[in-house]
């Protein structure tokens, strides 16, 4: 388990790669886009600089972490000689199934295949492989280097041995793994997303404004960030995708996404990553302020 492949160099993927590399693993970070890899590595370097400035790691630790990461655009080359692959691609069922079919064909028979999916069935993902006992969910929280929780999701056929291996590995990363069963949304998003959706409904129905809703939840419920600001940080497209997965899985109208959320996503207002969501992030300093709030935890 000292050789790890991570698929996807976006927000979650580069955070996962950073975390494994920081704790001594050799990480093969894979993305089809060279530009995404460059941005991912720049983000890792910037986050490590913050940690050095805060005194949580040394400059030597930063150099060692970066040296532990090698980037690849070719999947076949990127998954060679690894004991674990963590997929952190876009939250899209068809894309994930396609990736896992490829991984099953390219990886050694003993390689464990994990998905960072936040809502999609691990059992469904495992079913497209010839190794369902070795497929598991490893759902990190954002920002990965800071947040302690990892949801460990067992598919229907995931073995006890693989589950324990991933639980132990998570602890080696100084994370707190929590084992959950394979139902849409798992635990974190099954509870979080309806709250975010209800907050959007509250705005949609004119009960209160964005700032007012977030202020009530921050001051009244001691949430560090209001649900609408959190939705912006997660990405409104990601929130919509997760709600759709839960609605399709449970056929319960309480998971149906609010029309306002649907319209905002169609209009390209996705939150921090697009520069506008429930809040305006068009000025770079505003986006940096949100990032700093999380990095200072």
Q: Is 9 annotated as a binding residue?
A: yes
- Which one is catalytic: 47, 116, 119, 189? 189
Gap between the Cα atoms of 188 and 141, Å rounded: 9
Residues spanned by CATH 1.10.1040.10 within the chain?
Answer: 190-294
Distances (CA, A) of 189 to 59, 185, 274, 286: 36, 5, 22, 26
259 burial type by CB count under 10 A (0-12 exposed, 13-18 middle, 19+ buried): exposed
Residues spanned by CATH 3.40.50.720 within the chain?
Answer: 3-181
Residue 282 confidence (pLDDT): 86
Q: Is 171 annotated as a binding residue?
A: no
Residue 1 confidence (pLDDT): 78
Residue entry with tokens 């506008």: 276
- Which one is catalytic: 18, 47, 151, 276? 151
Q: Single out the residue of 8, 297, 12, 9 nearest to residue 151, CA to CA.
A: 12
Classify residue 56 by its DSSP letter. S
pLDDT digits (tens, 9 = 90+) for 232-276: 999 999 999 999 999 999 999 999 999 999 999 999 999 999 999
Count of CB atoms situated within 10 Å of the CB of 66: 15
Q: Is 13 annotated as a binding residue?
A: yes
Residue 286 confidence (pLDDT): 52
Residue entry with tokens 């979080």: 192
**Is 118 an annotated catalytic residue?**
yes
- Which one is catalytic: 68, 119, 139, 244? 139
**Is 151 an annotated catalytic residue?**
yes
Gap between the Cα atoms of 196 and 85, Å rounded: 31
Q: Is 198 annotated as a binding residue?
A: no
Quickly name the fold that domain 3-181 has. Answer: Rossmann fold (3.40.50)
Compute and round to an integer the Cα radius of gyration of the chain: 19
What six digits make up the tokens of 270? 């996705």
**Is there a contact between 85 and 59 (Cβ–Cβ < 8 Å)?**
no
**Is 189 an annotated catalytic residue?**
yes
CATH class of 190-294: mainly alpha
Q: Could you say which residues of the chain have pLDDT below 70?
A: 283-297
Residue 291 confidence (pLDDT): 53
Distances (CA, A) of 4 to 17, 23, 59, 149, 295: 9, 12, 23, 19, 25
Residue 292 confidence (pLDDT): 56
Q: Is 8 annotated as a binding residue?
A: yes
Residue 13 confidence (pLDDT): 97
Per-residue DSSP letters for 167-214? Answer: HHHHHHTT-EEEEEE-STTTTHHHHHHHHHHHHHHHHHTTSS-HHHHH
């Amino acid at each position: 388990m000292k050789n790890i492949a991570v698929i996807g160099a976006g927000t979650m993927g580069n955070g996962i790669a950073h975390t494994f590399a920081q704790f001594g693993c050799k990480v093969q970070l894979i993305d089809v886009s060279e530009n995404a890899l460059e941005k991912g590595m720049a983000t890792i370097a910037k986050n490590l600089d913050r940690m050095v400035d805060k005194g949580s790691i040394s400059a030597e630790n930063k150099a060692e972490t970066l040296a532990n990461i090698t980037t690849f655009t070719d999947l076949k080359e990127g998954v060679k000689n690894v004991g674990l692959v963590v997929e952190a691609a876009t939250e899209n069922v068809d894309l994930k199934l396609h990736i896992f079919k490829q991984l099953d064909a390219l990886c050694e028979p003993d390689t464990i295949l994990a998905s960072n999916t936040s809502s999609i069935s691990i059992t469904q993902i495992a079913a497209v492989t010839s190794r369902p006992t070795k497929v598991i969910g490893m759902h990190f929280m954002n920002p990965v280097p800071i947040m302690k929780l990892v949801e460990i999701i067992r598919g229907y056929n995931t073995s006890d041995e693989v589950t324990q291996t991933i639980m132990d590995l998570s602890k080696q990363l100084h994370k707190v793994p929590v084992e959950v069963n394979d139902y849409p949304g798992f635990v974190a998003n099954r509870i979080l997303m309806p709250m975010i959706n209800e907050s959007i409904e509250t705005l949609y129905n004119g009960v209160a404004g964005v700032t007012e809703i977030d202020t009530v939840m921050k001051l009244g419920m001691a949430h560090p960030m209001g649900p609408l600001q959190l939705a912006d940080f997660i990405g409104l497209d990601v929130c919509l995708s997760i709600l759709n997965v839960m609605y399709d899985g449970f056929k319960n109208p309480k998971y149906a996404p609010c029309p306002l959320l649907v319209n905002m996503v169609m209009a390209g207002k996705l939150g921090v990553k697009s520069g506008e969501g429930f809040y305006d992030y068009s000025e770079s300093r505003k986006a940096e302020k949100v990032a700093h709030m999380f990095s200072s935890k």
